[in-house]
Homo-oligomer: A and B are copies of this chain.
Amino acid sequence: MGEFDEATAVAARDDGGWRGTLAEGWDINGVPNGGYLLSLVAAGLRESAGRPDPLTVSMHFLRPSAPGVVDLDVHPGRQGARHATVAGTARQGETAVAQAVATFTDLSTAGDPHRVDLEPPELPDPGECVQRRGLASSGIGQKVELRLHPHDTGFVTRDPSGDPLVRGWARLADGRPVDTLALLLLADAFPPAVFNAGLPVAWVPTVQLTVHIRARPAPGWVRGRFRTRAVTGGYLEEDGELWDAAGDLVAQSRQLAVVPRPR
């Protein structure tokens, strides 16, 4: 039992919905991290689904949330033989903050065939990477320990690489193992790749985030690679991959975020 479990605990309501609490300390400048909100909502929907692993989770962010109680209204989908799908609307008081659909399954048995035309990122050892824990102006930096590739940390000193790419190691700071639920957190815990593009972009609120869980992760550090390929029309996409210590692809993420117009 770790901090992540406490922070994603949910209690049943009488009407089939769930209630949890967005804990203090998982924020970026006071706003709970998007991956953390996703994890809490998925924890509730997972109870409705009755399956152990999120397989694919889609969330649309409606407005910034705040630490405190979150109610999750559940919209039943299907309980099938292999998959269970359920949708939900997350509210704080009467104010909707996010809407999600999630499909759950049991990932304990993998299937064939296998072909992965991607490689895990090449990273220096964690000790030779740049530690973000305690450096970020945010609580989430205390909960998720990041060790970033030195090539990808130029944005911190206003010397971006020019390449909208962020790679690094990640784990939960308290040592709680990363499971398929915690992968949802890690899928949105790295600094935005666009910060290294050299564009006038200071913050990028997420509109939509989809995470596909591809396998249960082996114990140990998770490696992440996040890249933005298209900044256009006032929005950007960021694609991410998470790899486990055994070198297996364990999650793919994609988000669409607003690129606020420079003021």
> What 0/1 pattern do residues 200 to 225 of A give for CB contact below 8 A with B?
11000001101010110000000000
Q: Give chain A's interface secondary structure class.
A: strand
> Which A residues fall within an 8 A CB radius of B?
55-56, 58-60, 62-63, 73, 75-78, 80, 82-83, 85-87, 89, 96, 99-103, 107, 110-118, 164, 197, 199-201, 207-208, 210, 212, 214-215, 228-235, 237, 239, 248-249, 252, 254, 256, 258-259, 261-262
B107 near A199 with CB under 8 A, answer no
- Which has the most chain B C-beta neighbours within 10 Å: A77, A232, A239? A232
List the number of copies, as a whole number: 2
Q: Is the CB of A210 within 8 A of B207?
A: no
Q: How far is the CA of A228 from the CA of B118 in the complex (A)?
A: 10
In this complex, the member of A107, A201, A207 whose beta carbon has the largest number of chain B beta carbons within 10 angstroms is: A207
Whole-angstrom distance between the alpha carbons of A207 and B214 in the complex? 13
Contact assessment for B256 and A212 in the assembled complex, using a CB-CB cutoff below 8 Å: yes
Q: What residues of B have a CB within 8 angstroms of the CB of A207 in the complex?
A: 55-56, 83, 103
